[in-house]
Amino acid sequence: MTQSHAINILLVEDNPADASLFRRVFWRLEQDTWKLVEVQTLEDAIDTYCNYSNLVPGQRTFDVVLLDLGLPDATGLDTLKQFRMALPNAVVIVLTGLDDETIALQAVGEGAQDYLVKDQVTPQWLLRTIRFAIERNNLLSQLKYSEECTRNSLEREQELNHLKSSFVAMVSHEFRNPLGVIRNGMEIVRQLLPDTLENNVEKWFNQIESATEQLVYLVNDVLLLSQVQATSLRCNPAVVDLEDFCSEIIETISQSLDDRLHSIWFDITGDSVSVFTDPNLLWHICTNLLSNAIKYSPQGGVIQLGLTYQADQVILRVKDPGIGISEETQRHLFESFYRGSNAKGITGTGLGLVIVKRCVDVLQGNIEITSALNVGTTVTITLPLNQPSSASERHQVSETREVP
Ligand code: ATP
Ligand code: MG
C-alpha cells in the first residue's frame, strides 16, 4: 500500500539542535509529501496527538510520531511506555543517540515500530523508515483484525456446538423417562394377562416391546454421540487388564443379546501387560465392534476377538464372517446415520462406528477396517500402551478361549 497523501508527522524533541536537524532533513524532501508538527514534552505530545483533528478541521491525526526518549517530563523506555499507554494505536519511531542502540532495540520490543539514530539520518533513510513503520503498523492491524475475527468465529462455533450438545442431551433425556414408563407398564400388563395369549395379541406385544427397545437403544446412542462429539470429551485413564476387560465384555454381550447363535473366540498374543487407558471409552469401542460383528454375521458364525501386545502398543482385532461392507459404504463408515445398503434389513442407526472412531481418536489410537462383501469384516484398533509398566504387571499369556 502506498501513502498517497502527505504524511502527518509529530516530532517530539526538546533539544533545539536535534529538532533543527530533523527540520533540515525534512526540508530536503519534496514539500507536499510531509507535514511536520513539533512539541517538546511528553504531555504536549499526548495532548497534541489527541486534539490534532479538532485543532485542524478536516485533518486526520498523525500518521507517525518521532519520539525522543529523553524529554523534560519523561526519560528512557518510560517515555515510550507512557506514550503507548495513552495512545496504543499510534505509530511510533523512537529517536536515539549513537550510544543508545540497546535501549532503541528494547523500545522496538515495547511496541515502537522502528528507531532512528539521530546523527545518521538522511532524507531517504528518514522517508524509508517512516513509510516502512506505517506499512508495518497497517499489516499488524490487519493481522490483529483477522485474528480477532477467527477467534470470534471459533467462540461462536464452540457456543453453537455446546448449545447443540446440550439440546440433544436434554431432548434425549426427556425421551428416556417416558420410555422407561412404557417399558415398566408393558411388564406389569404382561404379568396381569394370562400366560397364553391369543396369537395376534402376543404378536402385538412383541412388536411393541421390540420397538420400545429400539427407541431406548437409539436414544442412548444419540445421547452418547452428543457426549463424544462435545469438545470436552476427555481421556480418564486407569490401569486396565485388557484380558479380563474383554472377557467381561464378551460375557455381558452374550447375555444381553441372549445370543447362543454365535461363538466368540478370544485370542491373545504376546506378553500381556496392564494398559493405562480409559475403560469407559474402551468399553464403547469393544461393545460396538462386537455387536456389529454379531449382527452382521450369519447364525452359527464364529467371531474372533484378538489382542496382540507389542513393545509400545496393543492391537485389538474383531473379525467376523458376515455380510461384509461394500467399497462405497467403507468410504462413509464414520458419518453419522450412514448405513450400508446390504444392512437395511438389520436393526441399527448408523452411529456405532462414529462413536468408536471418536473414542479411538481420544485414546490417540488408530482404526482400520478391511472388508469384502459376503466374506467378512476385520476391524483393527491400535492403541498406545501408555502403561506405567512394572515387572509385577507383566506375565506371559498365550491362549485361545471360546465364549459361548
Ligand atoms: P448402530 O448405531 O446401532 O451401531 P449400525 O450398526 O448400522 O447402527 P455402525 O455400527 O456405525 O451403525 O455401522 C455403520 C454401517 O457399517 C452399518 O450400517 C453396516 O452397513 C456397516 N457395518 C459396520 N460393521 C459391519 C460389519 N461388521 N459387517 C458388515 N457391515 C458392517
Ligand atoms: Mg453398529
Q: Show the cell assigned to 328.
A: 462405497
pTM score above 0.75: no
Q: How far is the CA of 117 from the centre of ligand 1 (A)?
A: 72
Between the two ends of the chain, the Cα-to-Cα distance in Å is 76
Helix (H, G, I), strand (E, B) or coil at 75: strand
Q: What is the pLDDT of residue 327?
A: 95
> What is the predicted pLDDT for the residue at 329?
95
Q: Is the CB of 308 under 6 A from ligand 1?
A: no
CA of 355, closest atom in ligand 1? 11
CA distance 172 to 219: 6
Ranges under pLDDT 50 in the chain: 1-2, 389-404
Taking only the tens place, the pLDDT of each residue in 57-92 is: 666 789 999 999 999 999 999 999 999 999 998 999
Taking ligand 2, which is a single-atom ion, which protein residues have CB atoms under 5 Å away? 292, 352
- Indicate if 238-403 has the same CATH topology as 7-121: no
| CA–centroid distance, residue 123 to ligand 1 (Å) | 75
- What is the reported pLDDT for 340? 94
What distance in angstroms lies between residue 230's CA and the mean position of ligand 1's atoms?
Answer: 22
- Type and span of the H or E element at 152: helix 123-192
CATH number of this structure's domain 157-229:
1.10.287
Query: Any idea which fold 7-121 has?
Result: Rossmann fold (3.40.50)
Could you tell me which of 57, 43, 58, 60 has the C-alpha nearest to residue 3?
60
Encode burial over 201-215: b for 16+ CB neighbours within 10 A, e otherwise: eeeeeeeeeeebeeb
Return the ligand 1 atom nearest residue 293 CA.
Answer: 27
CATH number assigned to the domain with residue range 238-403, chosen from the 4 options 1.20.1260.10, 3.30.565.10, 3.40.109.10, 3.40.50.720: 3.30.565.10
Q: Where are the domains of the chain?
A: 7-121, 157-229, 238-403
* H-helix or E-strand spanning residue 166: helix 123-192
Give the Cα separation of 183 and 65 in Å (integer): 78
Q: What's residue 258's pLDDT?
A: 52
Ligand 1 atom nearest the C-alpha of 320 is: 27
Bridge partners for 382 per DSSP: 315, 366
Q: Is the CB of 340 under 6 A from ligand 1?
A: yes
Cα-atom radius of gyration of the chain, to the nearest Å?
37
Contact 87, 50 (CB under 8 A): yes
- For the chain, what's the residue count? 404
User: What span, in angstroms and rounded, lies between the C-alpha atoms of 384 and 314?
Assistant: 6
